[in-house]
């Protein structure tokens, strides 16, 4: 599946960089905290922030494996 995504231009191989991984994790943690703080104010917005945290965590995983998303998605 990874090779297919590379061939389709949806991901690309990059050198591993621990700082990039750490930054994505930090963003995910920040967003989870923000979501928790907003839960009592506006639960719908808190869910949106949580979704962004999941995206950042997924990017961190990709970066840790030496890949990054590429191109545009519908």
Domain positions in the chain? 2-69
pLDDT computed for residue 71 by the predictor: 72
All residue ranges of the chain with pLDDT < 50 are: none
Residue 63 burial class via C-beta count within 10 angstroms: exposed 0-12, middle 13-18, buried 19 and up: buried
pTM of the model: 0.86
Give the contacts of 17 (CB within 8 A, at least 6 positions apart): 63
pLDDT computed for residue 73 by the predictor: 54
Cα 53 from chain centroid (whole Å): 7
């Amino acid at each position: 599946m990874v090779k297919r995504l590379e061939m389709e231009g949806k991901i690309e191989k990059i050198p591993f960089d621990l700082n990039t991984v750490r930054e994505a994790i930090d963003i995910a943690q920040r967003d989870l905290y923000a979501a928790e703080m907003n839960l009592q104010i506006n639960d719908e917005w808190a869910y949106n922030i949580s979704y962004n945290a999941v995206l950042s965590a997924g990017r961190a995983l990709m970066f840790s494996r030496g890949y990054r998303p590429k191109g545009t998605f519908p």
